[in-house]
Amino acid sequence: MENYIDLSAACPRPDSVRPDAVIIEGHTHTGRPCRIVDNTCSVPRKDLTEVLDGLITAHRFGVAALSAHGGQVLAIGRPDATHIQFGDELYRLLLFPYEAHIERF
């Protein structure tokens, strides 16, 4: 589990998004722009919109302080990682302060 999140990862740079990636944009509960990026180019836009809306509703965007494995050191803006399933396929979901990325495992 320790290797699941890259502790040195920063917010995604433009080169971390495929040129043909599917991007859905929105605004957080505070009005800041946010977006979901499908780097697999395989998830239906309708599903991406639902996930983005759910993340906004759950107030998941914004700068947060995370402690790795319950440690005493906080890292501001560190990405959060989990998985998400669309149909029969399982994907990696990386949540940065104002951007969510869907990647293949």
Question: Which residues face 82 on adjacent strands?
Answer: 93
Overall pTM > 0.85: no
Between vectors from CA 44 to CA 42 and to CA 49, what angle results, nearest 5°?
125
Find, among 56, 86, 81, the residue nearest to 5 by Cα: 81
Total domains in the fold of the chain: 1
- For residues 97 and 77, is the Cβ–Cβ distance under 8 A? yes
* Structure confidence at residue 62 (pLDDT): 82
Question: pLDDT tens digits for 8-48?
Answer: 655 555 457 899 999 999 999 999 999 999 999 999 999 99
**Mean pLDDT (the chain, rounded):** 82
* Residue 24 belongs to domain spanning: 2-103
3-state DSSP call for residue 66?
A: strand
